[in-house]
Amino acid sequence: MNAFIKQTGKKWLDRVAKNPKRFFTYSMILLSVSFIGSLIQGIFFPSQKTFTIKPPVLYSDSGISRNSASVQDTEMEMIVDELKLLKEKRDRNALQKEDSLRIEFLFNRFQQLKKSR
């Protein structure tokens, strides 16, 4: 079996070496048909599974409506309270990488709320 595979492979390599133009032509035809086939499949038969990236909970909105001023005030108070807790944690030298990301998110959210007033 192994000798048969080697003999067949050698035979194909000899054919390719003798007819490089034909090999190139057939290769390009095969690649073109494959490309057109994948385009047709992607257009007419799209995949049902969509690729979605969900943001981490750290960056998702809290779900509170932004329309009401009192709701914005309460959210700003919550942000300030949490930032105070994180400041105390910083003073104890207990901050972690996740905490710095949370601080950045809270600060940006506070700035957004402040601008929307």
Contacts of 58 (CB under 8 A, 6+ apart): 98, 101, 102, 105
Residues 6+ apart with CB under 8 A from 59: 105
pLDDT tens, position by position, 2-25 = 899 999 999 989 999 999 999 999
Per-residue pLDDT at 46 exceeds 90: no
pLDDT in tens, 52-84: 666 666 655 555 444 567 788 888 899 999 999
Question: The pTM is what?
Answer: 0.41
Instruction: Please give the C-alpha separations between residue 34 and each of 23, 28, 48, in angstroms, as whole numbers.
Output: 16, 10, 21
